[in-house]
């Protein structure tokens, strides 16, 4: 197996294991895993398969949730992978930072859009404009942790892999521009 691919996969699965440690609500490496996998796994199939597999394996330990909620969460995760695919050819620090911020916002908007969720899942919110607004307002308390964690873990994954490439020539990847 290619050493570079192995290093990328190891970083993704190591980050996924961090979900198992105690952490603040919504402070997890999920967004960064998807963004990093999309950006660095050059085979489009692997760019989806490997991050999704890492998330599924960590969910085995954390527990799965309702089908609709899981579908929405993994769907938002796939959108983040697609944003990472766009970064693939030009991974500047600024672009990675903006992509991490954008994925936080997109994940928040998608996963809190309870209007389409079955009533049995989120009985606190009505299936109308007031319900979706209440969902977004309630989610703001968790959104800040999502933003901070996406920026933090993106820095760790993208920066860590860059430093690995600097120190281990066989892992050398394209340069991340300042």
Q: How many domains does the chain have?
A: 1
Which of 67, 66, 71, 61 is closest to 28 using CA atoms? 61
90 lies in which domain range? 3-171
pLDDT value of residue 177 = 42
Of the pLDDT bands very low, low, confident and very high (cuts 50, 70, 90), residue 176 is very low
pTM of the predicted structure, to 2 decimals:
0.87
Q: Does residue 48 belong to any structural domain of this protein?
A: yes
Assigned domain for 150 exists? yes
φ/ψ of residue 116, rounded to 5:
-90, -10
Sign for the pseudo-dihedral over CA of 63, 122, 15, 140: negative
Is 133 among the domain residues? yes
CB 34 within 8 A of CB 81: yes
Between residues 127 and 141, the one the model is more confident about: 141
> Mind listing the pLDDT tens digit for each residue in 70-118?
888 899 999 999 999 999 988 899 999 999 999 999 999 998 886 556 5
């Amino acid at each position: 197996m290619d050493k570079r691919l192995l290093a990328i996969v190891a970083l993704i699965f190591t980050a996924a294991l961090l979900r198992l440690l105690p952490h603040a609500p919504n402070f997890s490496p999920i967004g960064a895993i998807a963004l990093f996998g999309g950006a660095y796994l050059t085979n489009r199939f692997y760019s989806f398969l490997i991050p999704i597999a890492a998330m599924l394996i960590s969910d085995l330990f954390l527990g799965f949730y309702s089908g609709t909620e899981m579908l929405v969460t993994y769907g938002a995760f796939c959108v983040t992978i697609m944003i990472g695919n766009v970064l693939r050819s030009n991974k500047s620090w600024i672009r990675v930072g903006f992509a991490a911020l954008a994925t936080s916002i997109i994940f928040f908007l998608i996963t809190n859009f309870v209007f389409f969720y079955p009533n049995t899942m989120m009985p606190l919110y009505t299936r109308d404009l007031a319900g979706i607004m209440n969902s977004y307002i309630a989610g703001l308390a968790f959104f800040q942790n999502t933003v901070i964690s996406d920026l933090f873990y993106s820095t760790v994954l993208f920066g860590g892999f860059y430093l690995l490439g600097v120190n281990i020539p066989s892992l050398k990847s394209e340069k991340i521009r300042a």
